[in-house]
């Protein structure tokens, strides 16, 4: 249920929570921001938190916990085995998903590691609506291949498609037949789809994917890390979901999918993660990997205080007032940017607002990393830390050829229950300034390029002196202002 304002011009997203604990922020002068981004190798991951005003890198592990989550942490059971905290987590998963079998892991990519070790071997393929960076890395390191089968409309920056993360179902069935079901490691649905702008997947499409998998005897896997946002979009955009309670949707998906895994750094606003299933045979086939890679079966590499917060956060993921906060703030930011004429992915998805950097710097070649350059410019302009989701986030082909991204995006993530509306408006204002001065943005080149997951800790430098020119223009336009 939305809250309508009496005066239409005052209509904004309305927080259904209040702030009781605050953390001081720091906004450096533009000259110091220039120094900081260059010392970080133009990699926003390598910036120090003390040098950041608006941290919009991710919504993973940086969401604000509720008072109930904080309180739950104080009743944690520190037992190495048989912890009551784990039993409370199992009860929460049973309530939310209706599932009995749970393998705890320390976060989402730990689940990906276990799934890859269980299902992937040389010559096998993993079919996905779209890949995620760590998921793909786990598949390829074991000799597998990732094939992406998202609908063509999902790769268009702007259209009216409500579920741009949907699989192309005909292509999925055709690919399984041509590849041979025995060579398909699994079909993975990511809801919502991170690297194309946090775009949701419809319930109808997910159920159809599961049916196709069952038809061919191929494992169906749901990455539910962003499922909270996705359920919001289902209820807003999909007729059959309008009157369904969130719990009904969770339960239906758990009934259809062979395996669900998630990062609780996103789903549940806590830490940790889990692999869950109705299928005891599948769970037992992965059980041995938990002590090997994570920890004992009742803590899985998660500290027990986080297990308690995770359990409470899962209960909160049934509350539409909590579910709606992120998507509504993101939609507001996307609308502001669109009104300013800034090229942004539409319709608004989950996770954050995504700038279309190919439109920012249309003449910049992919191998000068346009999305990374725009991210650096945004930090210089406002102390805002975005995340590059473009060619820099890809990995090179085995022969060293650069793999160009389908979309060059700068992600402005909106951590849940963290920012105020005035801060969101500040971000929109600074992005508009960068857009108006986009002719100053130049490219980047590698200084240190890791072989795997290079976007996490690689270093680049500017081509020419465009960053100094951008900082000088900021000072001209804003005077003594920060």
- Torsion, Cα 225 228 231 235, to 10 degrees, reads -160
The full 3-state SS of the chain, as one line of letters, equals CCCCCCCHHHCCCCCCCCCCCCCCCCCCCHHHHHHHHHHCCCCHHHCCHHHCCEECCCCCCCCCCCHHHHHHHHHCCCCCCCCHHHHHHHHHHHHHHCCCEEEEECCHHHHHHHHHHHHCCCCCEEEECCCCHHHHHHHHHCCCEEEECECHHHHCCECCCCCCCCECHHHHHHHHHHHCHHHEEEEEEECCEHHHCCECCCHHHHHHHHHHHHHHCCCEEEECCCHHHHHHHHHHHCHHHCCCCHHHHHHHHHHHCCEEEEECCCCCCCCCEEEEECCHHHHHHHHCHHHHHHCCCCCCCCCHHHHHHHHHHHHHCCCHHHHCHHHHHHHHHHHHHHHCCCCECECCCCCEEEEEHHHHCCCCCHHHCHHHHHHHHHHHHHCEECEEECHHHCCCCCCCCCCCCCCCEEEEECCCCCCCHHHHHHHHHHHHHHHHCHHHCCCEEEEECCCCCHHHHCEEEECCCHHHHHHHHHHHHHCCCC
Helices 203-216 and 246-256: angle between axes, nearest 10 degrees: 20
Q: How many CA atoms lie within 13 A of 245 on its CB side?
A: 9
Compute φ and ψ for 344, nearest 5 degrees.
Answer: -140, 150
d(CA 263, CA 460): 30
List active site positions. Answer: 80, 132-133, 223, 266, 389, 455
Beta bridge partners of 412: 353
Radius of gyration of the chain (CA): 22
Beta bridge partners of 188: 128, 221
């Amino acid at each position: 249920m939305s809250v309508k304002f009496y005066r239409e011009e005052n209509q904004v997203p309305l927080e259904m929570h209040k702030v009781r604990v605050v953390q001081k922020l720091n906004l450096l002068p533009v000259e110091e921001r220039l120094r900081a981004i260059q010392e970080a190798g133009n990699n926003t991951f390598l910036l120090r938190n003390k040098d950041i005003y608006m941290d919009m890198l991710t919504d993973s592990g940086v969401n604000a916990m509720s008072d109930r989550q904080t309180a739950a942490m104080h009743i944690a059971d520190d037992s190495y085995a048989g912890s009551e905290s784990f039993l409370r987590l199992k009860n929460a998963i049973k309530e939310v998903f209706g599932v009995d079998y749970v393998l705890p892991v320390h976060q989402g990519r730990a689940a990906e590691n276990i799934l890859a070790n269980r299902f992937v071997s040389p010559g096998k393929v993993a079919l996905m609506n779209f890949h995620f960076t760590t998921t793909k890395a786990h598949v390829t390191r074991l000799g597998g291949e990732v094939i992406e089968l998202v609908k063509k409309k999902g790769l268009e920056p702007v259209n009216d498609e409500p579920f741009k993360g949907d699989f192309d179902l005909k292509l999925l069935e055709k690919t399984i037949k041509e590849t041979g079901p025995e060579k398909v490691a699994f079909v993975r649905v990511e809801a919502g789809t991170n690297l194309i702008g946090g775009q949701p997947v419809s319930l109808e499409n997910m159920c159809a994917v599961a049916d196709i998998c069952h038809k061919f005897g191929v494992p169906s896997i749901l990455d539910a890390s962003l499922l909270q946002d996705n359920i919001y979009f289902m209820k807003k955009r999909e007729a059959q979901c309008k009157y369904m309670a969130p719990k009904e949707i969770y339960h239906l998906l758990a009934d259809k999918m062979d395996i669900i895994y998630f990062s609780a750094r996103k789903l549940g606003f806590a830490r940790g993660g889990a692999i869950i299933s109705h299928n005891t045979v599948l769970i037992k086939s992965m059980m041995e990997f938990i002590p090997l890679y994570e920890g004992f079966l009742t803590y899985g590499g998660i500290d027990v205080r986080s297990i308690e917060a995770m359990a409470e956060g899962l209960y909160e993921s049934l509350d539409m007032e909590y579910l709606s906060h992120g998507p509504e703030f993101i939609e507001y930011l996307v609308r502001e940017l669109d009104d300013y004429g800034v090229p942004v992915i539409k319709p608004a998805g989950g996770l954050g607002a995504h700038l279309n950097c190919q439109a920012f710097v249309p003449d910049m070649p992919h191998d000068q990393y346009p999305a990374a350059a725009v991210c650096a410019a945004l930090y210089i302009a406002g102390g805002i830390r975005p995340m590059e989701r473009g060619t820099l986030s890809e990995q090179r082909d085995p022969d060293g050829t650069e793999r160009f991204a389908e979309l060059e995006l700068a992600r402005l993530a909106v951590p849940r229950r963290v920012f105020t509306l005035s801060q969101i408006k500040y971000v929109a204002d600074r992005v508009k300034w960068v857009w108006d001065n986009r002719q100053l943005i130049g490219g980047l080149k590698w200084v240190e390029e890791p072989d795997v997951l290079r976007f996490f800790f690689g270093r680049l430098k500017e081509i020419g002196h465009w960053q100094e020119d951008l900082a000088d223009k900021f000072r001209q336009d804003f005077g003594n202002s920060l």
